[in-house]
Amino acid sequence: MNVKTALAERKSTRAFLDKKVPLETINAIIEQSKTAPSGVNTQPWQVAVVTGDRKVELCNKLEEAFRSGIKGSMDFDYYPSEWFGEYKERRKACGILMYSTLEIERDDRQKQLDQWALNYQAFGAPVILLFFIDKVLGKGSYLDYGMFLQSIMLSAIENGLATCPQAALGEYPEIVRGELGYSHEKVLICGMAIGYEDKSAIINSYRTPREELDKIVRYFV
C-alpha cells in the first residue's frame, strides 16, 4: 500500500468487530511508527496498550463518570474555550453529519447521549492506545506527538486495521492514571481505538469533508 492510498483510506472509525488483534501486530505498528520525527530526537511518546478485561474495566469507569454527570477535564486545552467563525461552523456541521447518518433527531437527547457514551467504550474496539507525555516537555513535543499518532494510523491501515483518535478518552485523566498506575507527572494526551472495522455499521459510511486548497493555502512566488 502506498502513502497516497493510506492517507485516503484513513478515517475515524466508530464501530469495530468483536475480533481480537494480536499483540504482535500492535507492537509492529508502534515499532514502525516510532520512526516519526521529534525535535532533537526527544521521542516524547509513552504508550499504554489496553486490552481484554483491563480495557473493559477502564471503559466502564469512564462511561460511568460520563453518565453520572461528571464533566470531563483534559490535562490541557485541546479545544478553544469559545467556538467562533469557521471553526464553530465546521464543528456544527460535523455533528449534524454524524447524527443525520444515524437518523438521530436533533431533539432526541437520549439517543445523542447514548451515542456519545460509546466514545468511552472506544466504540467497541478490542484495543485502546493511551498516549502520555512528561509534563515538563513543551509545545513542540506535542507537535512531534501528532506526527507519531498519524504514523500509527497509517501503519494500522497497512496492517488491515482501523482507528479512531479520541480526545474523549483523555477527558478523565485522573481515572486513567489511577487505573493504569501513571503518576501526575504524566500528561494524558488522548486515546485511540484500534481494531477491525465493522463495515456493515452505518456510522462508518460517512466521511467529513475537507476544505479546498484555495481556502487553506496562500502562495508567495
What is the CATH classification number for the domain harbouring 31? 3.40.109.10
Residues written for the chain: 221
214 grid coordinates: 484555495
Give the global pTM. 0.95
Number of structural domains found in the chain? 1
State the pLDDT at residue 37: 98
State the pLDDT at residue 151: 98
State the pLDDT at residue 48: 98
Residue type, 118: L
Cβ neighbors of 142 (< 8 A, separation 6 or more) are 76, 133, 189
State the pLDDT at residue 131: 98
**Is 102 within 8 Å of 202 (Cβ atoms)?**
yes
108 falls within a domain: no
Whole-Å CA distances, 44 to 27, 52, 187? 17, 27, 11
Tell which residue, 14, 4, 17, 29, has the closest CA to residue 203. 14
102 falls within a domain: no
State the pLDDT at residue 1: 79
Side-chain-side CA neighbours of residue 68 (13 Å): 9
214 falls within a domain: no
**Is 48 within 8 Å of 191 (Cβ atoms)?**
no
State the pLDDT at residue 106: 87
89 falls within a domain: no
Q: Which domain holds residue 174?
A: 3-79+120-205
pLDDT < 50 regions, the chain: none
73 falls within a domain: yes
